[in-house]
């Protein structure tokens, strides 16, 4: 394939571009709360520097001075993802339950603050449903969570760790580049499946037979959102991840390639880091989002080791 795309192909490329940098359509609903796991919690809200109101749960752990701040991947929310229901099952037929992560952390003695990123869950939307997969204004959501913690008397002196998967992890790493001072005292960072959108989009276009037009996809993305596709990767920010880091990735995920996550991991400086490959033969990406909820032992062990 060479030359310019046909009108039909260009329409497909435009639709793919729009899907990558805008959260359009019906949001995934929140089907569970911490109450479903026997946990007491408080509904809280806080605002970003660009005046977006974010919705969150605070789950207290009595007597603990440790806090894990949690967010989520794109199209999901603090509950997870209703992939067992239409129409969301058409995107990926896996129900993701982050409540299992929150409960495991709580039961291990951690307070939890779990928030919805902009355009997701119960948080505010923004103009044109703008979204950058963690590489645009989403970093402001990460910083807003820190600002909220620092504004709360019972939270401001707690030891902090992060559970930020996929786009939420991208946003955290972007924030580490933009405002490193916020992360000087963060004790540990757990990230399931950090994602390079330039890589994932190429994998997607190849599967559609449109790989020759990846540059045109990038042009369309930049027209819509002003973010170059080549900059939509945690590879550019991994050098600023200075705290102990634990990355988990489904090695059989057909939406990406293992080399992408391996590169992110390799670019993180220092030796206080860990990479776990899920190798169970399940090719669905969302399988990787459930791993630490279904097998929380390594996550809890990692936080326990570094948040003393």
Distance, in Å, from the CA atom of 33 to the CA atom of 182, rounded to the nearest integer, reads 28
Domain positions in the chain are: 7-306
pLDDT digit string, tens, across residues 10-36: 999 999 999 999 999 999 999 999 999
Q: Which of 249, 236, 242, 275 is nearest to 73 (CA)?
A: 249
Helix (H, G, I), strand (E, B) or coil at 47: strand
User: What's the chain's average pLDDT?
Assistant: 97
pLDDT digit string, tens, across residues 160-211: 999 999 999 999 999 999 999 999 999 999 999 999 999 999 999 999 999 9
Confidence of residue 1 (pLDDT cuts 50, 70, 90): very low
CATH topology of domain 7-306: Rossmann fold (3.40.50)
pLDDT higher than threshold 80 for residue 286: yes
Distance, in Å, from the CA atom of 62 to the CA atom of 203, rounded to the nearest integer, reads 46
pLDDT digit string, tens, across residues 77-117: 999 999 999 999 999 999 999 999 999 999 999 999 999 99
The CA–CA distances, whole Å, from 29 to 54, 92, 95, 125 equal 15, 15, 12, 14
Distance, in Å, from the CA atom of 36 to the CA atom of 302, rounded to the nearest integer, reads 26
pLDDT digit string, tens, across residues 136-155: 999 999 999 999 999 999 99
Phi, psi of 58 (to 5 degrees): -110, 125
DSSP state of 134: T
Please give the model's pTM, rounded to 2 decimal places. 0.97
Q: What is the pLDDT of residue 199?
A: 98
């Amino acid at each position: 394939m060479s030359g310019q795309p046909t009108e039909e192909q260009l329409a497909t490329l435009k639709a793919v571009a729009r899907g990558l940098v805008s959260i359009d359509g019906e949001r995934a609903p929140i089907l569970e709360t911490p109450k479903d796991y026997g946990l007491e919690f408080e509904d809280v809200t806080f605002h970003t520097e660009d005046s977006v109101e974010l919705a969150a749960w605070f789950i207290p752990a009595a007597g603990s001075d440790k806090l894990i701040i949690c967010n989520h991947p794109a199209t999901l929310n603090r509950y997870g993802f209703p992939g067992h229901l239409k129409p969301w099952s058409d995107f990926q037929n896996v129900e993701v339950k982050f409540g299992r992560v929150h409960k495991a952390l709580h039961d291990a003695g951690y307070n939890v603050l779990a928030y919805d990123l902009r355009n997701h869950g119960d948080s505010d939307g923004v103009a044109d449903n703008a979204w950058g997969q963690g590489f645009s204004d989403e970093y402001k959501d990460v910083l807003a969570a820190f600002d909220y913690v620092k504004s709360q008397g019972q939270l401001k002196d707690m030891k902090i760790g992060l559970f930020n998967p996929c786009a939420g992890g991208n946003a955290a790493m972007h924030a580490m580049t933009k405002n490193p001072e916020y992360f000087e005292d963060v004790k540990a960072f757990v990230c399931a499946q950090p994602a390079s959108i330039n890589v994932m989009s190429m994998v997607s276009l190849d599967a559609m037979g449109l790989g020759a037009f990846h540059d045109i996809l990038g042009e369309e993305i930049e027209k819509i959102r002003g973010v170059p596709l080549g900059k939509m990767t945690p590879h550019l920010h991994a050098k600023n991840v200075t705290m102990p880091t634990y990355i988990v990735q489904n090695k059989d995920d057909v939406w990406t390639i293992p080399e992408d996550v391996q590169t992110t991991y390799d670019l993180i400086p220092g030796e206080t880091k860990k990479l776990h490959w899920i190798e169970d033969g399940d090719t669905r990406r969302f399988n990787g989002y459930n791993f630490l909820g279904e097998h929380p032992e390594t996550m809890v062990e990692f936080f326990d080791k570094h948040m003393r």
